[in-house]
């Protein structure tokens, strides 16, 4: 039997979290697959990346393009050039991508042009907001993919409505939860709470990085004002994204951090962040993946966006959509602190076995 050459492409830190279980599973079948991991370098910080490899028990990438930052178009173009050479050099039979980042879009276009099969993990998610670059990336990637792996039933419906043949669509579950479950024992040993002087359930956790929230002075000011109010009621831990930190300084809002009574940290490794999430009273975020992790952990989640591409976290999970509407956030926090948070359950196939299901499908297809 000829081996398949499978190139797994990642571009951002969340992509590593999603790729780790799949790479491990593919490498169990070394008689069937030659597997390589390619990091485009869309997000790259040497210290953070090393923490991530250690936390996820991953070997460093086999290929690193190191494209760095730039505008959407510049970054995507640089990734495409590096990817084409790497895909052809490895003689790839299948390229696997995750989520909705620029690296994912770049791989979709390149594989389509040169005739290499593409598998998209996290297919079918839609916010229906084309002002989000990620939404464009999702739609284009799905329409160019040969194998589409879906995390929730809404994804199946979205792809069917867009005319994508369900013959190549598979409801496989949420691979991010594979990493979360696999890391539970290590997460429980993290000492991040003691390092920050926290007690379980005695703090809130916030992440904020979306352009719509942090790239204008008005929106970032509004976010900081509501955090100031919440910080007077419960300690708030704020691992500050580089984009947010830069904009706080650029808009002259640095003093707002002190007024908010926030516990500000640098971006954290995966294990420490999971520990903070799992022991928090609630989480406020504009991230996509955190909506899923909090749903699995049954931690209340306040999403500071007006839409979500992960609707099951709202309909079944712990997620409440508030945007940056102070009244909505205030009411939701009141409910949580008053013990009236919404009831939730864990979605179907968020069980830690998604990578196994994906590899079984790849073997057959």
Which tokens in the block code for residue 231? 């910080």
Handedness of CA 47, 53, 59, 64 (dihedral sign): negative
d(CA 215, CA 208): 11
Backbone torsions φ then ψ of 348, nearest 5 degrees: -60, 140
d(CA 1, CA 123): 30
d(CA 326, CA 317): 22
Sheet holding 94-98, edge to edge: 63-64, 33-39, 4-10, 94-98, 117-123, 147-150, 169-171
Backbone torsions φ then ψ of 228, nearest 5 degrees: -60, -45
Which tokens in the block code for residue 67? 């494209």
Please give the positions annotated as active site. 209
d(CA 216, CA 71): 17
Backbone torsions φ then ψ of 124, nearest 5 degrees: 85, -5
Q: How far does CA 360 lie from the centroid of its chain?
A: 24
Other C-beta atoms closer than 10 Å to the C-beta of 266 total 12
Sequence-ordered strand ranges (E) for 157-199: 169-171
């Amino acid at each position: 039997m000829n081996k398949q050459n499978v190139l797994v492409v990642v571009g951002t830190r969340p992509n590593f979290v999603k790729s780790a279980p799949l790479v491990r599973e593919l490498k169990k079948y070394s008689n069937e697959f030659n597997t390589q991991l390619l990091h485009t370098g869309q997000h790259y910080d040497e210290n953070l990346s090393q923490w991530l490899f250690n936390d996820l028990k991953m070997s460093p990438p086999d290929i690193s393009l190191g494209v760095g930052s730039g505008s959407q178009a510049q970054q995507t173009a640089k990734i495409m050039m590096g990817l084409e050479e790497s895909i052809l050099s490895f003689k790839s039979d299948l390229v696997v991508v995750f989520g909705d980042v620029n690296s994912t879009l770049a791989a979709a276009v390149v594989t389509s042009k040169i005739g290499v099969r593409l598998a998209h993990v996290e297919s079918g998610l839609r916010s229906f907001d084309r002002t989000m670059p990620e939404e464009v990336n999702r739609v284009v990637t799905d329409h160019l993919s040969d194998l589409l792996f879906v995390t929730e039933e809404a994804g199946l419906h979205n792809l069917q409505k867009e005319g994508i043949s369900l013959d190549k669509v598979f409801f496989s579950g949420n691979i991010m939860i594979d990493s979360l479950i696999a890391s539970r024992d290590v997460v429980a040993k993290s000492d991040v709470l003691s390092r920050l002087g926290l007690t379980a359930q005695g703090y809130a956790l916030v992440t904020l990085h979306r352009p719509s929230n942090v790239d204008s002075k008005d929106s970032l000011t509004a976010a900081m004002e509501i955090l100031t109010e919440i910080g007077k009621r419960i300690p708030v831990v704020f691992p500050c994204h580089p984009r947010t930190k830069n904009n706080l300084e650029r808009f002259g809002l640095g003093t707002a951090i002190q007024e908010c009574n926030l516990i500000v940290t640098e971006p954290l490794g995966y294990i420490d962040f999971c520990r903070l999430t799992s022991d928090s009273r609630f989480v406020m975020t504009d991230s996509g993946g955190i909506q899923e992790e909090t749903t699995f952990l049954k931690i209340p989640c306040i999403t500071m966006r007006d839409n979500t591409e992960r609707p099951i976290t709202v309909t079944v999970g712990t997620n409440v959509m508030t945007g940056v509407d102070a009244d909505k956030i205030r009411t939701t926090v009141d409910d949580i602190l008053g013990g009236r948070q919404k009831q939730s359950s864990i979605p179907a196939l968020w069980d830690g076995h998604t990578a196994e299901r994906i590899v079984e499908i790849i073997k057959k297809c």
